[in-house]
Amino acid sequence: MPDVSWRFVSILLANGVLVGSMYALVALGFVLIYKATDAINFAQGEFVMFGGFLAAATADMAGLPWWAGVLAAICGMIALAFCLERVVLRPLLGRPIIAVIMATIGLASVLRGTAVLAFGTGVQSISLPVGSSPFHLGPLVLPPIEIVGAGVSLVFLAAFAWFFLKSRLGVAMRAVADSQQVAMAMGINVRRYFALAWALGGVVSALGGVLWGAMLAVDNQLALVGLKVFPVIILGGLDSILGAVVGGLVVGVAENLSAGFLDPLVGGGTKDFVPFVLMIAVLMVRPEGMFGRRRIERV
Amino acid sequence: MLSGERRAEVCQAGEVQLDVGGVAKHFGGVRAVETISLAVNRGEILSIIGPNGAGKTSFLNMVSGFYRPDRGTIRFEEREIAGMRPSKIAALGIARTFQNIALFGGMTVLDNIMLGRHVRMKSGVLSSFLYWGFAQREEIAHRARVEEVISFLDLEDLRKEQTSALAFGLRKKVELARALALDPKLLLLDEPMGGMNQEEKEDMARSILEVNEEWGTTIILIEHDMAVVMDISERVVVFDHGRKIAEGSPAAVARDAEVIRAYLGTARSREGLAA
């Protein structure tokens, strides 16, 4: 039996919360696109990976400072998301949702292949100006990159929540999400808001790529972060920003607790599947997630 | 209130604002609109009546840009709009409401009405990010106009209410307010009184007349309640099987034999109508 001290639990919890907010950031990209365009983007993880590659390539390989890498990742991902929306997703407007899903799954493979072609198969790193010696806060010992990651994530989550709830653009975007037809009758140019949603998704992916890349290193495996997005959004609800935050925190904490308590019992590995067990459980009990909109359809 | 007949005379000299020439719309084998021509004068209230499936809503959908007509022309203020994007048409000054209430869920009444104002705001997606202050100032100016609409329709107490929490009649009214916030020159109302009780119907009829009088907005409405139609319209057109079968003052249309056959059916309903 592992040592169940208060300190051990609090370290696991704190780690879970920090990592969880970084999951929430990546999930936010997914939620943004789903809310505005009803498209489920299965390439979210690949977006993150691409953002990480762009940052690493600009900063480490070209020898530019770290902020140039971040900037390049953000600009590059906005451009990429913008182009993909126009070339791949716009022609699918109004098609069955399965067509969009298939397109984004295909897109994921294309992006993974392109990343290897463009950036090679080697492992690259992103070095942010964050120290590597652990940060001591009372009884807690926390890696500084996690603190920075969580901080950046929370700032952006708050900014996007404000954007959606208060700003005119955000309100218009919610209108588009609610009913494209009615939004058009209000003179809202729906296509422009689709492009905006994808561009914002690109920004979030770039940040996610930089943060996760700095924490884990940048290679093909970085796309796996995208897999964790599914338990996060299923837990929280596909179309809720608050849901993405809470879902992210739950997944982060669950992961850490299982790593701390279950892994020693079975010899490891539970960390990777516990979030999915949670996801399946939630799907059985409350398929729309904790904060998702319950859809009532008249037949 | 002016009687329908008198107001028709007042507007007779009015110029044609919307000129629809021989539009048709088929969906596979279904001929939703066979061929319809219709001229609407600036500032009039025109009702479209007809049995279910007569092509009334399809007609509105073509005018507001949701359907691209297979044939024909639609000219609004001397400009061809057939097949134009709905958001473009809205920007030209054609607003509409929907048969089923189509308010945006999860938003307040104020947010909904402000969205109607969206098209009048100059700052676009990019510029709102770049010139934050400009977008803010602009929003305040538009808010003032929205307040006018709100007080015009007596919605002051409901600003912060969630639309889903409102009674049916009020939701229809908010939808009207949202359409008015566009500052429309032409307002298309698809069954604005559908599903309302008598009191709500009278209230809505009053609002429609006031909008028309106060702002000179041209109004085309689809309505099934004949009493309302007879009461507020200057002109009535009758659609049946995707064609226009009659047009004229309410009284003349009510007397038209073909209308009675197609729409009202039996001699008994004719008596009911005259009563």
Inside any domain, residue A292: no
Q: Give strand pairing partners of B33.
A: B25
Question: CB neighbours (10 Å) of residue A290?
Answer: 16
Binary contact (B118, A168; C-beta < 8 A): yes
Among residues A22, A143, A159, A42, the alpha carbon closest in space to that of A98 is found at: A42
Percent of chain B whose predicted confidence (pLDDT) is above 90: 51
**Domain boundary, last residue among B181, B196, B223:** B181
Inside any domain, residue B99: no
Is the domain of B40 the same as that of B166? Answer: no
Q: How many CA atoms lie within 13 A of A224 on its CB side?
A: 9
Binary contact (A168, B121; C-beta < 8 A): yes
Inside any domain, residue A233: yes
Separation of alpha carbons A16 and A251, rounded Å? 8
Is the domain of B212 the same as that of B162? Answer: no
Is the domain of B193 the same as that of B148? Answer: no
Select the residue from B107, B118, B175, B185 to test the A interface by mutation, using most A Cβ atoms within 10 A.
B118
Q: Taking 90 as the threshold, does the pLDDT of residue B45 lie above it?
A: yes
Binary contact (A182, B124; C-beta < 8 A): no
Is the domain of B177 the same as that of B188? Answer: no
Select the residue from B61, B87, B92, B186 to test the A interface by mutation, using most A Cβ atoms within 10 A.
B87
Residue B270's pLDDT band (cuts 50, 70, 90): very low
A60's tokens: 């480490």
Residue B204's pLDDT band (cuts 50, 70, 90): very high
Beta strands in A68-199 (DSSP E): 135-137, 140-142
Asked if B76 has any chain A CB less than 8 Å from its own CB, the reply is no
Among residues A49, A27, A68, the alpha carbon closest in space to that of A118 is found at: A49
Inside any domain, residue A126: no
pLDDT at B51: 86
Phi-psi region of A269 (alpha: psi -120 to 50; beta: other; left: phi over 0): left
Q: Taking 60 as the threshold, does the pLDDT of residue B226 lie above it?
A: yes
Residue B269's pLDDT band (cuts 50, 70, 90): very low
Is the domain of B163 the same as that of B209? Answer: no
**Domain boundary, last residue among B158, B181, B204:** B181
Binary contact (A168, B98; C-beta < 8 A): no
pLDDT tens per residue, range B70-83: 999 999 999 999 98
Separation of alpha carbons B138 and A143, rounded Å? 46
Q: Taking 70 as the threshold, does the pLDDT of residue A189 lie above it?
A: yes
Phi-psi region of B254 (alpha: psi -120 to 50; beta: other; left: phi over 0): alpha
**What are the residues of chain A with a beta carbon less than 8 Å away from any beta carbon of chain B?**
167-169, 171-172, 174-175, 178-179, 181-190, 192-193, 196, 293
How far does B100 lie from chain A, in Å, by closest CA?
11
**A102-126 mean pLDDT:** 90
Amino acid letter, residue A175: A
B158's tokens: 């409901």
Separation of alpha carbons A210 and B175, rounded Å? 45
Choose the closest CB to A187 out of B114, B125, B182: B182
Chain B residues with CB under 8 Å of A182 CB are 98, 102, 104
Q: Which range of residues forms the domain containing residue B86?
A: 4-93+184-274
Q: Taking 50 as the threshold, does the pLDDT of residue B4 lie above it?
A: no
Inside any domain, residue A294: no
Among residues A200, A103, A111, the alpha carbon closest in space to that of A156 is found at: A200
Q: How many structural domains are present in chain A?
A: 1
Q: Which residue has the tokens 């028309």?
A: B212
pLDDT at A134: 82
Select the residue from A162, A168, A188, A291 to test the B interface by mutation, using most B Cβ atoms within 10 A.
A168
**Domain boundary, last residue among B181, B197, B217:** B181
The CATH number of whichever domain residue B250 belongs to comes to: 3.40.50.300
How far does B179 lie from chain A, in Å, by closest CA?
7
Asked if B102 contacts B55 with a C-beta cutoff of 8 angstroms, the reply is: no
pLDDT at B260: 74
Separation of alpha carbons A113 and A38, rounded Å? 26
Q: How many structural domains are present in chain B?
A: 2
Cα separation values, B253 from B50, B219, B222, B261, Å: 12, 18, 15, 12
Binary contact (B107, A171; C-beta < 8 A): yes
Inside any domain, residue B232: yes
pLDDT at A176: 87
Residue B44's pLDDT band (cuts 50, 70, 90): very high
Is the domain of B50 the same as that of B151? Answer: no
Asked if B243 contacts B36 with a C-beta cutoff of 8 angstroms, the reply is: yes
DSSP A92: G
Q: Taking 90 as the threshold, does the pLDDT of residue A291 lie above it?
A: no
How far does B72 lie from chain A, in Å, by closest CA?
22
Is the domain of B117 the same as that of B249? Answer: no
Chain CA centroid to CA A154, Å: 13
pLDDT at B117: 87
Q: Is A291 helix (H, G, I), strand (E, B) or coil?
A: coil
Cα separation values, A265 from A259, A270, A272, B203, Å: 10, 10, 15, 71
Chain A residues with CB under 8 Å of B96 CB are 185
Binary contact (B102, A182; C-beta < 8 A): yes
Inside any domain, residue B63: yes
Percent of chain A whose predicted confidence (pLDDT) is above 90: 35
Asked if B71 contacts B22 with a C-beta cutoff of 8 angstroms, the reply is: yes
Inside any domain, residue B43: yes
Binary contact (B87, A293; C-beta < 8 A): no
Asked if A270 contacts A23 with a C-beta cutoff of 8 angstroms, the reply is: no
Is the domain of B75 the same as that of B188? Answer: yes
Inside any domain, residue B100: no
Chain B residues with CB under 8 Å of A171 CB are 107, 111, 114-115
Q: Is A218 helix (H, G, I), strand (E, B) or coil?
A: strand
Binary contact (B91, A187; C-beta < 8 A): yes
Closest residue in A to B176 (Cα–Cα)? A186
Looking at chain B from residue 82 to 121, which residues have their Cβ under 8 Å from any Cβ of chain A?
85-87, 90-91, 95-96, 98, 102, 104-107, 111, 114-116, 118-119, 121
Tell me the ipTM for this assembly: 0.77
Closest residue in B to A170 (Cα–Cα)? B125
pLDDT at A3: 54
Residue of higher predicted confidence among B123 and B249: B249
pLDDT at B263: 65
Binary contact (A188, B106; C-beta < 8 A): no
Enumerate residues 6+ apart whose C-beta is below 8 A from B118: A168, A172, A186, A187, A188
Q: Taking 60 as the threshold, does the pLDDT of residue B12 lie above it?
A: no
Residue B129's pLDDT band (cuts 50, 70, 90): low
DSSP A88: I
Question: CB neighbours (10 Å) of residue A80?
Answer: 21
Inside any domain, residue B88: yes
Residue A154's pLDDT band (cuts 50, 70, 90): very high
Residue A40's pLDDT band (cuts 50, 70, 90): confident
**A64-77 mean pLDDT:** 91
Asked if B128 has any chain A CB less than 8 Å from its own CB, the reply is yes
The CATH number of whichever domain residue A229 belongs to comes to: 1.10.3470
Inside any domain, residue A109: yes
pLDDT at B10: 45
Is the domain of B89 the same as that of B116? Answer: no
Is the domain of B221 the same as that of B160? Answer: no
DSSP chain B: ---HHHHHHHHHTPPEEEEEEEEEEEETTEEEEEEEEEEEETT-EEEEE-STTSSHHHHHHHHTTSS--SEEEEEETTEE-TT--HHHHHHHTEEE--SS--PPTTSBHHHHHHHHHGGG----HHHHHH-HHHHHHHHHHHHHHHHHHHHHTT-GGGTTSBGGGS-HHHHHHHHHHHHHTT--SEEEEESTTTT--HHHHHHHHHHHHHHHHHH--EEEEE---HHHHHHH-SEEEEEETTEEEEEE-HHHHHH-HHHIIIII-SHHHHHHHH-
How far does A168 lie from chain B, in Å, by closest CA?
8
Residue of higher predicted confidence among B265 and A130: A130
pTM here is: 0.80
Q: Which range of residues forms the domain containing residue A107?
A: 6-121+134-280
Residue of higher predicted confidence among B212 and A220: B212
Closest residue in B to A178 (Cα–Cα)? B104
Binary contact (B114, A168; C-beta < 8 A): yes
Is the domain of B66 the same as that of B198? Answer: yes
Q: Taking 50 as the threshold, does the pLDDT of residue B40 lie above it?
A: yes
Q: Give strand pairing partners of B94.
A: B186
pLDDT tens per residue, range A8-38: 888 899 999 999 999 999 999 988 888 888 8
A222's tokens: 């970085």
Residue B264's pLDDT band (cuts 50, 70, 90): low
Q: Taking 60 as the threshold, does the pLDDT of residue B217 lie above it?
A: yes
Q: Taking 60 as the threshold, does the pLDDT of residue B266 lie above it?
A: no
pLDDT at B274: 46
Choose the closest CB to A189 out of B87, B128, B178: B87
DSSP B89-109: HHHHTEEE--SS--PPTTSBH
Choose the closest CB to B118 out of A172, A181, A196: A172
Q: At what angle do helices B168-180 and B132-152 cross, to 10 degrees?
A: 130
Is the domain of B258 the same as that of B157? Answer: no
pLDDT at B219: 96
**B198-206 mean pLDDT:** 92
Chain B residues with CB under 8 Å of A168 CB are 114, 118, 121, 128, 135, 139
Q: Is A135 helix (H, G, I), strand (E, B) or coil?
A: strand
